[in-house]
A and B are shown apart, each in its own frame.
Chain A
Amino acid sequence: METIKTEQVQETMKKYTDQGKQDTRSGFGAGLTELGRTNPKVVALCADLIGSLKMQTFQEENPERFFQVGVAEANMMGIAAGLTIGGFIPFTGTFANFSTGRVYDQIRQSIAYSHKNVKICASHAGITLGEDGATHQILEDIGLMKMLPGMTVINTCDFNQTKAATLAIADHNGPVYLRFGRPKVPNFTEADQDFQIGKAVTLLEGNDVTIAATGHLVWEALLAAENLGNLGISAEVINIHTIKPLDEETLVRSVQKTGCIVSAEEHNYLGGLGESIARTLASHHPSPQAFVATQDTFGESGTPAQLMEKYGLNNKAIEAAVVQVLKRKK
């Protein structure tokens, strides 16, 4: 029986091969480039980080629809809100830290409360920003953004999905926070995928435990599931690209089957995906849950891989969490 399970897992894993490492921010840049060519209402703003956000092509091809605002993120958010008046769809680009915490009140009043159709696109999210250290590594942004009424919160896992999400949010009427990262990571989801906001993607089906991961942790969850399969543990892996609105139906259905869950995210356990899942399960299907996340701490300098290891955000950490949560299963 265990052998069969392992084969099943390995076979399913073949669907998800790394097509070559790419950064998610380049997925955003590719999506924005396409929008520049297809949607004349899309405008873009950047706060002195055009290269980092991969916005060069959009800028070159649409200079009249691109606004360099300098190192002035608060002003950028207000201008973006104003640009919606007249029918434009502004995409703002800067690091996640400067896209959220630095400009929270501007987003709250001028964008969220005012129902403005602004797409806040945030790169270098989380600890994998790496060597720049904790001043730039925000691990609180998902919480900040998901607390704002009406804000959609998306955290994509690879290049292809980030590109697809960038295209999808242009067609969604309302404020969106799109979170992605700096390092090159495996690109394993389909090119030209149909990205549905608010619809989780079940990557692997399993029976013993659900692993609900977001962002860079999705690939790690797949690696963990492969290793767990070798141990005879059948893990269901769900890619939660949209943290708000959360696909509660998919999550509850999965946990009804598996009986326990591990949430995995590159974010503080306070305010992140894990808490959203816990609230959902507490309301609909209380179940043991383990949290792979940072433990209410700031980050530090280091390579992305070193930091993921030290802060317990890789496939090994997910495996350990699965082992722990399985013990609590009735």
Chain B
Amino acid sequence: MPDIQELQDLVIQVRRDILRMVHKVNSGHPGGSLGCTEFFVALYHVLMNRHETFTMDGIDEDIFFLSNGHISPVYYSILARAGYFPVDELNTFRLLNSRLQGHPTTHEGLPGVRIASGSLGQGMSVAIGAALSKKLNNDTSIVYSLHGDGELQEGQNWEAIMFAAGKKVDNLIATIDRNGQQIDGATQDVMPLGDLREKFEVFGWDVLEIEEGNDLEAIIKGMQEAKTRTGKGKPVCVIMHTVMGNGVDFMMHTHAWHGKAPNDEQLEIGLAQNKETIGDY
């Protein structure tokens, strides 16, 4: 495991990648991406037991599914910086003929991506299928997934939540990015989600919460705890409380930057708050 300073440096660098990617094409989703940066760094560099070379089947390694595909900037940056494809390719985000489509896809053969996502609410079902596949293959690795909290308004999630508990899919850790924001405003105003913990528990999941979802050490601790709860007959849900837009002060605590790119001036402010660490692409 890399030391915490190395991980912090990577977090800063990934934030810079996110800002520069969406700024360049004046489109994309920085808010949720910034809010999950620490989670992705922890997942890919501490938590997951993964192979260096990407294979679609991901046999004998932990695999991850991004259900809320619009936070592709953080996903692409993490995948590139984890070595799945050249970091310079981040330059092509959302451009014509790029493998880095607006929302992640397998269609262009980008290493690291196993399913298309973007139309919300589908990722948990896919993660369950992959988890069942691992069981059939006697593969004891874990399937991770990430979901937006607003995304849980899609009904398919609740079909999946019912299935995973009912059929004891206990090699799955589904993390909910509980930032309380969605495109039109606060989730509480748009469509209240209620007590998510209680909802998952009533469905039969083992639930734990990470209160400081933008603190690397808290994430690592919480997710390590989640790992110990796998294999015990219940799917595991992590409700991770994050701040949308984390790390760029004017983007924080608001839904305004869900799907909006910074202008030149805003980019400079954001980058000044996150000084280059391991090198820009």
Selected from B117, B128, B133, the residue in CB contact (under 8 A) with A87 is B133
With both beta carbons as reference points, the residue of chain A lying nearest to B59 in the complex is identified as A86
The interface bits of chain B over 102-137 (1 if a CB of A lies within 8 angstroms of the residue's CB, else 0) are 000111000000111111001111111111111011
B98 to chain A, nearest CB (A): 16
Do residues A110 and B116 form an inter-chain contact, with CB atoms below 8 A? Answer: yes
Residues on B with C-beta less than 8 A from A78 are 122-126, 128-129, 156, 160
Do residues A67 and B132 form an inter-chain contact, with CB atoms below 8 A? Answer: yes
Residues on B with C-beta less than 8 A from A82 are 65, 115, 125-133
> What CA separation (Å) do A115 and B107 show in the bound complex?
7
Residues on A with C-beta less than 8 A from B59 are 86-87
Residues on A with C-beta less than 8 A from B264 are none
With both beta carbons as reference points, the residue of chain A lying nearest to B161 in the complex is identified as A75
Q: Chain B: how many interface residues by the 8 Å CB criterion? A: 39
The number of chain A residues touching the other chain, given as a range, is 20 to 34
Selected from A72, A86, A110, A114, the residue in CB contact (under 8 A) with B133 is A86
> What CA separation (Å) do A88 and B137 show in the bound complex?
9
A79, A80, A82: residue with the most chain B Cβ atoms closer than 10 Å: A82
The interface bits of chain A over 104-138 (1 if a CB of B lies within 8 angstroms of the residue's CB, else 0) are 01101110011110000000000000000000000
Do residues B56 and A79 form an inter-chain contact, with CB atoms below 8 A? Answer: no
> What CA separation (Å) do A76 and B160 show in the bound complex?
9
CB of B139 closer than 8 Å to a CB of A: yes
Residues on B with C-beta less than 8 A from A110 are 115-116, 122, 125-126
Do residues B163 and A77 form an inter-chain contact, with CB atoms below 8 A? Answer: no
CB of A69 closer than 8 Å to a CB of B: yes
Do residues B167 and A86 form an inter-chain contact, with CB atoms below 8 A? Answer: no
B134 to chain A, nearest CB (A): 6
Residues on A with C-beta less than 8 A from B139 are 86
Contact A83/B129 with A65-B136, A113-B107 known, Cβ cut-off 8 Å = yes
Residues on A with C-beta less than 8 A from B114 are 85
> What CA separation (Å) do A109 and B113 show in the bound complex?
13
With both beta carbons as reference points, the residue of chain B lying nearest to A85 in the complex is identified as B130
Interface residues of A (CB under 8 A from B): 43, 64-65, 67, 69-70, 72, 74-88, 90, 105-106, 108-110, 113-116
Q: A78-B160, A82-B131, A113-B106 are in contact. List 18 more A-B contacts (CB 8 A).
A: A70-B163, A70-B166, A72-B159, A74-B125, A74-B155, A74-B156, A75-B159, A76-B125, A78-B125, A82-B115, A82-B125, A86-B57, A86-B134, A86-B136, A106-B156, A113-B105, A113-B116, A114-B115
Shortest 3 CB-CB contacts between residues of A and residues of B: A82-B129, A78-B125, A86-B133
